[in-house]
Amino acid sequence: MSTIIEFRNATKSFAGIPAFRDIDFTLRKGEIHALLGENGAGKSTLTKVMAGVYRLSRGQMLLDGRDITLKGPADGLAQGIVMVFQETNLVPAMTVAQNIYLGDEKMFNRLRGLYIEARQFLVGMGFQVDPTAQVSTLGAAQKQMVEIARAVHHKARVIIFDEPTATLTPEEKKHFFMLLERMKAQGTAIVFIT
């Protein structure tokens, strides 16, 4: 399997205090990695560097074997790296379908078709969410499902999940883990923080 992301002697500090120090990490196509640890261990900080939210203080991040410094989350997204945060980044005034397809604005010209396509997409993922519902009316678990659906729709090469099952029911968790296995089989690399 080919390496997508690699860290070499990676350190991230805030005001001289390291969040993590001298990390070596390799993420390959079609792998699922779980990052486990106590609060403050540096798990979220490491993944935020991966997604372009933060820059390393020292060391290297390689993407597809070349040294890279992501200038922000949009840079990470352009490289196919998506982070699904525990706190969602959805647009509350838009519908579920509009949030999933955000960035494909040409599709907004045909809302009925957009809703039909979104319904099929969500059902295929095992998520019971009404695509016509305004995001502001959803509960935490359904918002998390919309975030996950958006990441999958954008065909990310790397998806980072921050505590993705915290708000899901046992049945939703089952569908989520089945989805992870399908994404893994398609070659998506997954990092799972818990």
Q: What is the mean pLDDT of residues 153-175?
A: 82
SS3 of residue 2 by DSSP: coil
Q: What are phi and psi of 145, to 5 degrees?
A: -65, -40
Please tell me the number of Cα atoms within 13 Å of 190 on its side-chain side: 27
Closest CA to 116 of 103, 101, 134: 101
Q: What whole-number distance in Å separates Cα of residue 20 and Cα of residue 41? A: 7
**What's residue 74's pLDDT?**
84
Contact 194/163 with Cβ under 8 angstroms? yes
Q: What whole-number distance in Å separates Cα of residue 184 and Cα of residue 182? A: 5
Q: Is the pLDDT reported for residue 105 higher than 80? A: no
pLDDT band at 131 (very low <50, low <70, confident <90, very high): very high
Query: What tens digit of pLDDT does each residue of 38-85 get?
Result: 888 889 899 999 999 999 999 999 999 999 999 998 899 889 998 887
